[in-house]
C-alpha cells in the first residue's frame, strides 16, 4: 500500500501494528462509503483519523468496532488474522470504543456508571444472594481514576449529571478501560469542550499512550491532533488519501489533504492509495 503525505510514500513505521485492517469496503445501497481502505495502529501510538464530513471516518470506526462490518477486508490483531462481525468480537479482542454521546446515565454516580452492566458481586456468604460489592467497586473506581491522574472529581459518588464535559469524558474513557483493552477508539473526545476541559481530555489521551495502549482519535480539531497524535491518516470520499507523521509535517499540509487541495490552496488533490 502506498499513500501520500509530504511525499508520495507513506511514512515508515517503526513498530509492528497491533491492529491492522486491509482493503475494507462498505456500501449502503448505491453509495460506497469505504473503498478498499487500509488502516493500522501500533501499541503505544496515537493515530488521528481525519477527514471532512462524509469522508468515511465513522463508517471505518464502526467496521473496526463490529457495529457495521465491511463487506470486504482483512483484520489482523496482535499478529493474528481475526474476524470482527459483532461488537462482542471487537470487545473480546480488546477493542474499546468511546462514542461522542458517551452513553452515561446522568442520574447515577461515577461508580455506578463505571460498572453499569458489569457490577461486581461480594464474595463469601453474600455471594449466593448476589449482593453488589459497593465498597469494592468504589475502591476500584478511585484507583482507576487515580492511575489516569483524573484528580478533578471531588468524589466518585458524585452524580455524573453534575460533572463538567471534561470530567464526563474522563469517566467514559475510564469505563472503557475496565475490560483491559489494548485499543481505545475515541470519537471526537474534545468536541464542544472549553479550553480547561479540553486540556483535561488531551492529558488523558497522552496517559493512555503512556500505558502502552493503541489509541485511535477521531477529531476535527487540528490543534488537538498535533498535540497528541503520532500519525494522521486522512480519508476523503471513502478512500485513504494521505498519511502524515505529525513531527514531520504541518497543519496546512494536513488540511490540504482533507480538502483535496495543496497546502497553498491550489493544485490537484493528492493521489489516492493504489
**pLDDT tens track, the chain, 274 positions:** 334 443 333 334 457 899 999 999 999 999 999 999 999 999 999 999 999 999 999 999 999 999 999 999 999 999 999 999 999 999 999 999 999 888 999 999 999 999 988 888 777 666 556 678 889 999 999 999 999 988 888 899 999 999 999 999 999 999 999 989 999 999 999 998 899 999 999 999 999 999 999 999 999 999 999 999 999 999 999 999 999 999 999 999 999 999 997 543 333 333 333 3
Domain regions of the chain by residue span: 1-94+181-274, 108-180
CA 249 – CA 162 distance, rounded (Å): 40
Provide the β-strand partners of residue 132. Answer: 121
Query: What is the distance between the alpha carbons of residues 216 and 115, in angstroms, rounded to a whole number?
Result: 23
Contact in structure between 87 and 173 (CB atoms under 8 Å): no
Q: State how beta strands 80-82 and 72-77 pair.
A: antiparallel
Q: How many CB atoms lie within 10 A of CB 47?
A: 20
| Stated pTM of the model | 0.85
* Beta partners for residue 245, in sequence order: 231
Q: What are phi and psi of 42, to 5 degrees?
A: -100, 160
Residues 6+ apart with CB under 8 A from 166: 152, 193, 194, 196, 197, 198, 199, 200, 201
List 117's β-bridge partners, or say none.
none
Type and span of the H or E element at 235: strand 231-236
Q: Which residues pair with 25 in a beta bridge?
A: 72
**What's the CATH number of domain 1-94+181-274, 3.40.50.300, 3.40.225.10, 3.90.1150.10, 3.40.50.720?**
3.40.50.300
Amino acid at each position: 500500500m502506498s499513500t501520500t503525505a509530504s511525499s508520495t510514500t507513506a511514512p515508515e513505521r517503526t513498530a509492528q501494528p497491533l491492529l491492522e485492517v486491509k482493503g475494507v469496503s462498505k456500501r449502503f445501497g448505491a453509495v460506497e462509503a469505504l473503498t478498499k481502505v487500509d488502516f493500522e495502529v501500533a501499541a503505544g501510538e496515537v493515530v488521528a483519523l481525519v477527514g471532512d464530513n462524509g469522508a468515511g471516518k465513522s463508517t471505518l470506526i464502526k467496521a473496526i468496532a463490529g457495529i457495521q462490518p465491511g463487506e470486504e477486508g482483512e483484520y489482523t490483531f496482535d499478529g493474528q488474522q481475526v474476524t470482527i462481525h459483532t461488537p462482542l468480537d471487537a470487545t473480546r479482542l480488546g477493542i474499546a470504543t468511546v462514542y461522542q454521546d458517551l452513553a452515561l446515565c446522568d442520574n447515577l454516580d461515577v461508580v455506578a456508571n463505571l460498572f453499569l452492566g458489569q457490577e461486581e458481586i461480594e464474595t463469601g456468604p453474600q455471594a449466593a444472594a448476589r449482593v453488589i460489592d459497593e465498597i469494592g467497586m468504589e475502591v476500584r473506581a478511585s484507583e482507576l481514576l487515580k492511575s489516569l491522574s483524573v484528580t478533578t472529581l471531588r468524589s466518585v459518588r458524585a452524580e455524573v449529571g453534575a460533572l463538567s464535559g471534561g470530567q464526563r469524558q474522563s469517566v467514559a474513557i475510564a469505563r472503557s478501560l475496565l475490560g483491559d483493552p489494548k485499543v481505545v477508539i475515541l470519537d471526537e473526545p474534545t468536541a464542544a469542550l472549553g479550553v480547561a476541559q479540553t486540556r483535561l481530555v488531551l492529558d488523558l489521551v497522552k496517559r493512555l499512550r503512556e500505558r502502552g495502549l493503541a489509541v485511535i482519535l477521531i477529531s476535527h480539531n487540528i490543534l488537538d491532533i498535533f498535540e497528541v497524535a503520532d500519525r494522521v491518516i486522512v480519508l476523503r470520499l471513502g478512500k485513504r488519501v494521505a498519511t502524515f507523521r505529525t513531527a514531520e509535517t504541518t497543519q496546512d499540509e494536513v488540511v490540504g489533504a482533507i480538502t483535496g487541495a495543496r497546502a497553498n490552496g491550489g493544485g490537484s488533490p493528492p493521489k489516492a492509495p493504489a
